[in-house]
Amino acid sequence: MRCYLHAYLLCTVFTFFSLLYVYSQLASTLEDRDERSGGGRISGRSSHDAGHALSEKLSSATKEPKNDRSHLAVVACGARLEETLTMLKSAVLFSRKPVHFHIFAEDDLHDGFRNALEMWPVAVRTTFTFTIYPIAFPEENAIEWKKLFKPCASQRLFLPLILKQVDSLLYVDTDIIFLRPVEDIWGLLSQFNASQLAAMAPEHEEPRIGWYNRFARHPYYGKTGVNSGVMLMNMTRIREKFFKSDMTAVTLQWGEILMPLLQKYKLNITWGDQDLLNIIFHHNPENLYVFPCQWNYRPDHCIYGSNCQQAEEEGVFILHGNRGVYHNDKQPAFRAVYEAIKQYSFGEDMESSLLQPLEAALQATTHSYCGLSSHLFTKRLRESVRLLQPEDIGSQANIIPVPDAVD
């Protein structure tokens, strides 16, 4: 009897450990399968969606996925359709990675944008997508915001609140011409430190001709202020940030600080939304990344003689034809670049149909100070053209396609 009892106990112990082993193997198998299925869901997303998901989890991260598309926003009102289309054309001419255009425009311009962009060649259309939005301001103050400075210009202040699903954005004025791929300035996002959430260029390099340091009646960033015509934004950080100000000891979020600032300074600001941005970053300087002047090269950098040292060394990367210089005879060198981009036909040889005619036109502008510096306009442009010629134009092999345009 004692032998039978001993054998029963041994069998019970053996059965218990056998069941424990089987259970542990089953749990391990289920865990591995869950991990594999989860990995499949993530890798099945587009690179943009994966990058956005990452930014949702780590909102302070600034590095974009390697092949992620750039997001470019522009605001167009009035007689700005052709100028804006020329800017967009320059953006796709030299970029080798996909870009999505966020076009904010008055209602009567929507069909013009849509029809023009959809008529671009198929090979070009595969490199970008676009969305057209109506102009939108907070209802309670819409009229006041719309008439601030130029019509619709202050729309840019509300982009972080409107484009809530967009992590980062490059805003540009309509009078911008890209001479270097969009993804190159987009790459500056990876240079932001942990506190920086936006990037702009100085308003002036030379304080003796600076506007803010001589005439401003409100706070401004740094020694000469910043220019908002080219503004790179980590909008996730902007939405999460609590900003300091001189209105209250309480820090305020982006959507809370704009109207109080306008109410306090509206009688003292000249350049509208740009002045409000200068006030914000005067009180929060640690949040701004300042990029060199060749990323936002304006007539002020050459009208009294060349004063953008970085452009002297590396050429102009982005041309900003403010004060209407693309459409008058005050700065013929700027107008020559604009006209060259506008008149170039997609698919033609860039060397013979764009670069050479432009260089010839610039030779006729040397009677002006900016004309004397016009070799800086083509210095980087020539490199951008070289990278696309000749084999890349025919094969499009190195351009990453994107889905059909959306609207």
Burial 77-100 (b: 16+ CB within 10 A, else e): beebbebbbbbbbbbbbbbbbbbb
Q: Give the mean pLDDT of the chain.
A: 84
Q: Which domain holds residue 360?
A: 322-387
- Cα dihedral sign, 134-136-139-142: negative
- Each residue's pLDDT tens digit, 282-319: 999 999 999 999 999 999 999 988 999 999 999 999 99
- Cα dihedral sign, 370-372-374-376: negative
User: Which pLDDT value is given to residue 162?
Assistant: 96
Whether residue 128 is found in the same domain as residue 193 = yes
Whether residue 286 is found in the same domain as residue 362 = no
- Each residue's pLDDT tens digit, 26-47: 344 333 333 333 333 322 333 3
| In contact, 180 and 90? CB cutoff 8 Å | no
User: Which pLDDT value is given to residue 358?
Assistant: 97
φ and ψ at residue 108, rounded to 5 degrees:
-75, -5
Whether residue 227 is found in the same domain as residue 374 = no
Residue listed under structure tokens 């796709």: 92
User: Which pLDDT value is given to residue 402?
Assistant: 52
Is residue 155 a part of any domain in this protein? yes
Report the C-alpha dihedral over residues 190, 196, 197, 199, rounded to 10 degrees.
Answer: -80
Is residue 347 a part of any domain in this protein? yes
Is residue 299 a part of any domain in this protein? no
Is residue 146 a part of any domain in this protein? yes
Among the ranges given (58-62, 345-349, 381-385), the one the predictor scored with the smallest mean pLDDT: 58-62
SS3 per residue for 76-92? ECCCCHHHHHHHHHHHH
Report the C-alpha dihedral over residues 160, 163, 166, 171, rounded to 10 degrees.
Answer: -60
Single-letter amino acid code for the residue at 64: E
Whether residue 190 is found in the same domain as residue 331 = no
**Contact partners, residue 125, CB within 8 Å, separation at least 6:** 117, 118, 404, 405
Is residue 205 a part of any domain in this protein? yes
Q: Tally the domains of the chain.
A: 2
Whether residue 335 is found in the same domain as residue 265 = no
Cα-based distances in Å from 365 to 344, 347, 370, 372:
20, 28, 8, 7
Q: What is the DSSP letter of 319?
A: E
Whether residue 101 is found in the same domain as residue 215 = yes
As a whole number, mean pLDDT of residues 153-173 equals 95
**Contact partners, residue 354, CB within 8 Å, separation at least 6:** 340, 341, 344, 348, 385
Whether residue 87 is found in the same domain as residue 234 = yes
DSSP code per residue over 332-401: HHHHHHHHHHHHPPTTS-HIIIIIHHHHHHHHTTTTSHHHHTTHHHHHHHHHHHHHHTTHHHHH-TTSPP
Cα-based distances in Å from 227 to 203, 257, 266, 276:
5, 20, 18, 11
Helix (H, G, I), strand (E, B) or coil at 10: helix
Whether residue 283 is found in the same domain as residue 372 = no
Half-sphere CA count of 145, side-chain side, radius 13 A: 19
Whether residue 231 is found in the same domain as residue 361 = no
- Each residue's pLDDT tens digit, 120-142: 999 999 999 999 999 998 887 77
- pLDDT: is 83 or 395 the higher one? 83
The domain boundary, picked from 251, 279, 294, lies at 294
Is residue 38 a part of any domain in this protein? no
Inform me whether the pLDDT recorded for 248 exceeds 60: yes
**Residue 175 — pLDDT band, cuts 50, 70, 90?**
very high
Whether residue 339 is found in the same domain as residue 238 = no
Q: Which residues pair with 201 in a beta bridge?
A: 227
As a whole number, mean pLDDT of residues 328-339 equals 97
Inform me whether the pLDDT recorded for 238 exceeds 90: yes
Helix (H, G, I), strand (E, B) or coil at 181: coil
Burial 211-225 (b: 16+ CB within 10 A, else e): bbbeebebbbbbebb
Is residue 290 a part of any domain in this protein? yes
As a whole number, mean pLDDT of residues 263-291 equals 94
Q: Which residues pair with 290 in a beta bridge?
A: 200
Q: How many residues belong to the chain?
A: 407
Is residue 19 a part of any domain in this protein? no
Whether residue 250 is found in the same domain as residue 383 = no
Whether residue 169 is found in the same domain as residue 89 = yes
Among the ranges given (57-66, 134-143, 270-279), the one the predictor scored with the smallest mean pLDDT: 57-66
CATH number at residue 266: 3.90.550.10
Residues 319, 382: Cα–Cα separation, whole Å = 14
